[in-house]
Amino acid sequence: MTQRIALITGGGTGIGRACALAFARRGMGVVVNYSRSQAEAEATAEEVRALGVPALAVRADVADDRQVREMVGTVLDRFGRLDVLVNNAGTTDYVDHADLEGLTDERWDRVWDVNVKGLFHCARAAADALKEARGAMVNVLSVAGLTGLGSSIAYAASKAAGISVTKSLARVLAPQVRVNGVAPGIVMTRWVMGHDDHVQRLAADTPLQRAATPEDVAEVVVALAEARFVTGEIVKVDGGRFL
């Protein structure tokens, strides 16, 4: 059987890295996308290779459609196929929800360009290859998109839009491609470093009494990528906090 390939955006750190290793443990080759974290992406690719499968780190800003198309072209030139796309790249900016003036157009635009347009750029560029492989797409979203809470109003809105895009793509790419999303709550990544009180408060209000690890989220990403009769679903990974 030809080596199956997963492309993970924002794959060098946090949830992306955990996804890369989880797919590698299932025998899939992995392409680790990064925008700025080159050293981390290269390190993750090396960890993947150590598991006995091929890996490649590729730079592309998902907010730039041209870069995304070039990245997918590189994947196909190198491996000849693409079976799974994990849209994990994202950005945020901590702005108190009550600080309406603080949420500038510049902040809105960057969050929207990465979290919404970036997701769509990657989906569009990969669509034909995923159809050919009868593959899967999993979008890493957030419970913020369901609750309106989160690091800023712009971030919550971007994740709500991502949920909508996920459902739309599940319809238009069917039946060849299954498209699902995961909506994590608080996850122990570098995004929450320095916000210990915030993390502890949220964990205390969660039935499972802790924040998620990147591996907790990756476990669900892989399950959705492999689930043959599930599409258009958004699975919360929040320890039951928003039951």
Residues labelled as active-site residues: 155
**Of 120, 126, 131, which is closest to residue 166 (Cα–Cα)?**
120
Asked if 15 and 184 count as a contact pair (C-beta separation under 8 A), the reply is yes
| Neighbour tally for 114: CB within 10 Å | 22
**Secondary structure class of 35 (helix, strand, coil):** coil
Query: Strand pairing partners for 182?
Result: 140, 235
Asked if 65 and 77 count as a contact pair (C-beta separation under 8 A), the reply is no
Place of tokens 């320890």: 239
78 contact partners, CB below 8 Å, separation of at least 6: 31, 56
Using N-to-C axis directions, what is the helix angle for 118-133 and 65-79, rounded to 10°? 30
How many helices (H) and strands (E) the chain has is answered by 9, 7
Q: How far apart are CA 88 and CA 10, in angstroms?
A: 6
What phi and psi values does residue 8 have, to the nearest 5 degrees? -120, 115
